[in-house]
């Protein structure tokens, strides 16, 4: 039986840049940036309300599903800029942050949009919106953040759920190996 971590589909940093380069619609750029930056599940993105974003205090309130730990988080400057651009041209339809023609944007529509943009970016069809969640977790580890930070960032209650990302970050392993090779504490044979 294959281990769970082998099924994790995440985008490299380069693929993430290509994906966002293919997204021109302000709502969709803001939507997918929010999903990526906060490691949201698609269904969690549908829970976001206008009142959850506080531009003055530079905070966003995240509601987590699957018994995850949500709460108030700092608002990424880039996410704030994209949200402001989107909200400046958006016609309010209720209290949902991301709306479509019929109110709150639905999970299926988000998946369709992602597929269209991934295709335009020349990415494999193996990727889905969930790949953005996997990507930020992997990118945080590759940037040197500890596993506990990633656990908190994704809202995981159990760190074992977060450990799957530690197994797939080859760049981080390479950096650690290079540091260990330079360490005077490791015996050189």
1 in a domain, yes or no?
no
pLDDT under 70 in the chain at which residues? Answer: 1-6, 91-93, 168-173
Other beta carbons within 10 angstroms of residue 150's beta carbon come to 23
3 in a domain, yes or no?
no
26 in a domain, yes or no?
yes
Say how many domains are in the chain.
1
φ/ψ region of 43 (left if φ > 0, alpha if ψ in -120 to 50, else beta) reads alpha
Could you tell me if 39 and 154 are in contact, meaning their C-beta atoms sit under 8 angstroms apart? yes
Note the pLDDT tens digit of each residue in 33-73: 999 999 999 999 999 999 999 999 999 999 888 878 888 99
Domain boundaries, position 16? 8-182
Other beta carbons within 10 angstroms of residue 155's beta carbon come to 23
CA distance 136 to 37: 7
CA distance 47 to 10: 23
Its pTM stands at: 0.85
pLDDT value at residue 1: 40
pLDDT value at residue 55: 95
pLDDT value at residue 3: 47
pLDDT value at residue 167: 72
3-state secondary structure of 59: strand
87 in a domain, yes or no?
yes
**Residue carrying structure tokens 């880039």:** 78
40 in a domain, yes or no?
yes
The CATH number for 104's domain is 1.10.443.10
pLDDT value at residue 20: 97
């Amino acid at each position: 039986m294959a281990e769970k971590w082998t099924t994790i589909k995440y985008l490299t940093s380069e693929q993430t840049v290509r994906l966002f380069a293919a997204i021109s619609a302000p709502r969709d750029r803001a939507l997918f940036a929010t999903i990526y930056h906060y490691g949201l599940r698609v269904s969690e993105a549908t829970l976001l309300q206008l009142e959850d974003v506080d531009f003055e205090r530079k905070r966003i309130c995240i509601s987590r599903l699957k018994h995850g730990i949500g709460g108030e988080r700092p608002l990424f400057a880039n996410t704030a800029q994209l949200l402001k651009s989107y909200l400046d041209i958006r016609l309010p339809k209720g209290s949902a942050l991301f709306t479509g023609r019929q109110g709150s944007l639905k999970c299926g529509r988000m998946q369709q949009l992602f597929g269209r943009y991934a295709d335009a970016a020349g990415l494999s069809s193996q990727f889905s919106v969930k790949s953005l969640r996997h990507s930020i977790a992997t990118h945080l580890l590759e940037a040197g953040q500890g596993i506990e930070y990633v656990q908190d960032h994704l809202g995981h209650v159990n760190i074992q759920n977060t450990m799957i990302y530690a197994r797939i970050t080859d760049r981080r392993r390479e950096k650690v190996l290079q540091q260990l090779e330079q360490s005077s504490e490791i015996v050189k044979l």
